[in-house]
Amino acid sequence: MAVDNMKTNKVVALNALEKRRFRTPWQEAWGRLIRNKAAVLGVVLIVSFLFIAVFANVLAPHNPLQLNSGKDFLPPSWIETSASGKHGDPEFILGTDTLGRDVLSRVVYGSRVSMMVGFAPTLIIMLVGTFVGLMAGYYGGRWDNFLMRLTDVMYGFPDLLFFIIALISLRDTWLGQFMNGLFLLFFALAIINWVGVARIVRGQALSLKQKEFVEAARSIGVKDSQIMLRHLLPNALGPIIVQGSFLIPGMIITEAVLGYLGLGLKPTTNPDAFFITSWGSLMLDGQTSINAQPYLLLAPAICVALVVLSFTFLGDGLRDALDPRMRGRA
C-alpha cells in the first residue's frame, strides 16, 4: 500500500511537471482559476448580471415606467394577502411600487446603472490609488510627505459641498448630460474616493520595500518601475482586491444618493432610454415603504449582495491564481 501510494504520488508530480513545461504563466493562472469553484460561481453570476443589464429591454416583462393606477404596493405574486391588505397579482411577479410600477422590471433595468456604477469608478479609484500609494511608499521622503498630506486633505474634503456645486455648475454642460449624467458621477466618485486605496498600498509598500527580495532586486540594478510592478504590486494585491470588493456596494449606494442631488441619473419619462433607474434608487424608495412593500427594498438589496459576493469570490480566486508562489499547486 505504502509503496503504491508513493508511486502514484510520484507519477502525479511528474505529470504535473511535464505539463507545466508546456504552459505559460497565464495559462497556469487560468487553470487555477477555473478549478476554484467559488471563483467560477462568481464569474457566472457576474456574467449573468451583465447579460441582464445589456438585454434589459428584452427581459423586462413590463415597461418600467408604466403607471398602474389602483395597483400600487401590490405584494409579490406568491403572497396572497400582504400586511396592507393587497393581493398578489401573477402579472407582477415581485409586486409593484408606490405608483403601481412593476418592481421586477425596474430591478432588471436597474442592473444597467448599478453594474456600470459599481465597476467603472472602482476601476479608476484602484488605478489612481495604487499608483499614488506605490509612489509614496516606495520613494518615501518628500514624495511621501506631499502625497500623504494630500490624502489628509482629501479625507476631510467636504464631498457633499463638492457634489452640490458640481451639480449646479455642470448640470447644463455636455459633461453633466453625457450618459444621462452618469459620466460626471464616475468622475466625481473617483476624485473623492481614491485616498483609502492609496494609503493601504503605501502602507504595504513601506513594509515590502525593506524586504530582502526587494533589496536584492535593487542591488542588481532592477529599475524602480520594474520593482514596483513586479515585486511590490503583486504582494500588495490581496488588500487591494478586498478594498475593491468593498468599494462596489459603496458606489452602488452612493449613486442612489447622488442621484437625489441631481448629480447622477436624471429621471426620465422616455421608456426607450438606456438608463432608467438604479438599484440604489429602488432601495431608497423601498426604505420609505418598508411596511407596505418590502420587496422594493429586498430585491435590489439581494442583487447588490450577490454582485458583491461574486466579486469577493472572484477576487479571492484571482489573487490565488495570480500568486507567483502558488505556481504548480492547486
Site residues for other proteins, window 181-210 (CB under 8 A)?
192-193, 196, 199-200, 202-204, 206-207, 210
Nearer to other proteins, 79 or 206 (CB): 206
Question: Residue 290 interacts with other proteins (CB under 8 A)?
Answer: yes
Contact by Cβ (8 Å): 206, 147? no
**Residue 118: exposure state from Cβ atoms within 10 A (0-12, 13-18, ≥19):** buried
Minimum distance between the CB of residue 71 and other proteins, rounded to whole angstroms? 10
For the chain, how many residues are written? 330
* Position among 103, 115, 253, 321 found at the interface with other proteins (CB under 8 A): 253
Cβ of residue 288: shortest distance to other proteins, in angstroms?
A: 5
Site residues (CB under 8 A) for other proteins, limited to 82-101: 83-86, 97-100
Q: How far apart are the first and last CA of the chain?
A: 25
| DSSP-derived 3-state class of residue 111 | helix
Of 158, 162, 147, 157, the closest CA to residue 197 belongs to: 147
At 32, list the grid cell.
487555477
Min. distance of Cβ 190 from other proteins in angstroms? 12
**CA–CA separation, 126 vs 296, rounded Å?**
32
Q: Is 44 in the site for other proteins (CB under 8 A)?
A: no
Residue 278 DSSP class: -
Stretch that binds other proteins, among 2-10, 47-55, 122-130, 230-238 (CB under 8 A): 230-238
- 142 touches 272 (CB < 8 A): no
Dihedral sign for Cα atoms in the order 167, 168, 170, 176: positive
What is the footprint of other proteins within residues 106-145 (CB under 8 A)? Answer: 140-141, 144-145
Does the footprint of other proteins cover residue 304 (CB under 8 A)?
yes
Of 56, 254, 295, 318, the residue at the interface with other proteins (CB under 8 A) is 254
Q: Which residue stretch of 8-16, 20-28, 55-63, 238-246 sits at the interface with other proteins (rule: CB under 8 A)?
A: 238-246
Residues 156-185 that bind other proteins (CB under 8 A): 156-165, 167-168
